[in-house]
């Protein structure tokens, strides 16, 4: 890993020459490939504290879902700019507490995609975020812990109750991973938290493994009265 990092530093000037750094949100010129311009940084709305979801689960969000975070999510998830996973995860890592001393590190479990959507998109955005969070020292990524065994329609535009109905029974715990979650602190990882229906379905599945605790980490959280809706 140290060798890879050294090579990345050595070739950074060449990459910058061929592909001048641009802000992934607005396209303005910036100093490095892994950041935002000062204007876009200033428009990210960072929650002051963690918030709670069903089951009294704490939610750690890097930002609220606004125009700037929306552009980043769309570029990442639908624009195929998977290199943004490191930037988004770095912002998420800043919100997550450090792993407790004297205990095993948390298990980072991404929200799963159905296999058809995974094949169509080519990657699971939540899985990449979980792997990056592990590199930032926030835990151990366990990508296959949850399985979306039933294909569900796009949840964009659906209300809270409709999302709950669509997701009921769609996400299950992989029995082979249950022992690795038992008695461990678990962090559910996703890019955007909207109504919480998906995270609640995942939490219900994780509870079958009897974890020590569960938290949710996401890049952007949608406020209930927010006018923007994820796509």
CATH number for the domain including 207? 3.40.50
The tokens for 52 are 């709670």
Of the listed ranges 4-13, 24-33, 57-66, 200-209, the one predicted with least confidence = 4-13
Residue span of the structural domain in which 102 resides: 44-221
Question: What is the pTM assigned to this prediction?
Answer: 0.84
Handedness of CA 9, 220, 123, 141 (dihedral sign): positive
Domains: count for the chain: 2
Q: Do 24 and 76 reside in the same domain of the chain?
A: no
Q: Do 150 and 213 reside in the same domain of the chain?
A: yes
| pLDDT confidence of residue 226 | 53
Q: Do 128 and 30 reside in the same domain of the chain?
A: no
Residues 91, 117, 57, 194: what is their CA dihedral angle, to the nearest 10 degrees?
70
Question: Strands across the sheet with 185-193, in order?
Answer: 51-53, 57-64, 213-221, 185-193, 107-110, 140-141
Mean pLDDT value across residues 21-28: 83
Q: Do 54 and 39 reside in the same domain of the chain?
A: no
DSSP type of residue 34: S
Distance CA 205, CA 219 (A): 22
| pLDDT confidence of residue 32 | 64
Mean pLDDT value across residues 44-63: 80
227 inside domain:
no
pLDDT at 9 over 70: no
| pLDDT confidence of residue 16 | 41
Structure confidence by residue, pLDDT tens digits, 112-149? 988 877 788 889 999 999 999 999 999 999 999 999 88
DSSP 143-203: TTSEEE-S-----TT--HHHHHHHHTTTEEE-GGGHHHHTTSEEEEEEEEESSSHHHHHHH
Q: Do 52 and 164 reside in the same domain of the chain?
A: yes
The tokens for 168 are 């009921």
| pLDDT confidence of residue 28 | 85
Looking at per-residue pLDDT, the higher value among 195 and 76 belongs to 76
pLDDT at 18 over 50: no
Q: Do 144 and 64 reside in the same domain of the chain?
A: yes
| pLDDT confidence of residue 100 | 83
Is there a contact between 91 and 40 (Cβ–Cβ < 8 Å)?
Answer: no
| pLDDT confidence of residue 35 | 78
24 inside domain:
yes
């Amino acid at each position: 890993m140290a060798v890879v990092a050294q090579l990345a530093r050595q070739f950074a000037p060449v990459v910058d020459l061929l592909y001048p750094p641009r802000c992934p949100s607005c396209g303005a010129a910036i100093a490095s490939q892994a950041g935002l311009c000062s204007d876009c940084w200033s428009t990210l709305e960072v929650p002051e504290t963690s918030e709670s979801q069903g089951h009294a689960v704490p939610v750690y969000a890097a930002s609220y879902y606004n125009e700037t975070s929306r552009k980043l999510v769309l570029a990442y998830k639908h624009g195929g700019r998977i290199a943004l996973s490191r930037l988004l995860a770095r912002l998420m890592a800043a919100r997550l507490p450090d792993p407790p001393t004297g205990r095993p590190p948390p298990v980072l479990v991404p929200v799963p995609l159905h296999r058809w959507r995974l094949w169509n998109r080519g990657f699971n955005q939540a899985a990449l975020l979980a792997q990056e969070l592990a590199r930032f020292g926030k835990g151990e990524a366990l990508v296959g812990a949850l399985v979306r065994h039933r294909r569900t329609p796009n949840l964009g535009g659906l209300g809270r109750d409709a999302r709950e109905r669509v997701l009921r029974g769609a996400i299950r715990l992989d029995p082979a991973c249950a022992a690795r979650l038992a008695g461990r602190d678990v962090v559910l990882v996703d890019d955007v938290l909207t109504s919480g229906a998906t995270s609640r379905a995942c939490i219900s599945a994780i509870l079958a493994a009897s974890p020590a605790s569960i938290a949710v980490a996401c890049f952007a959280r949608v406020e209930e009265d927010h006018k923007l809706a994820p796509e």
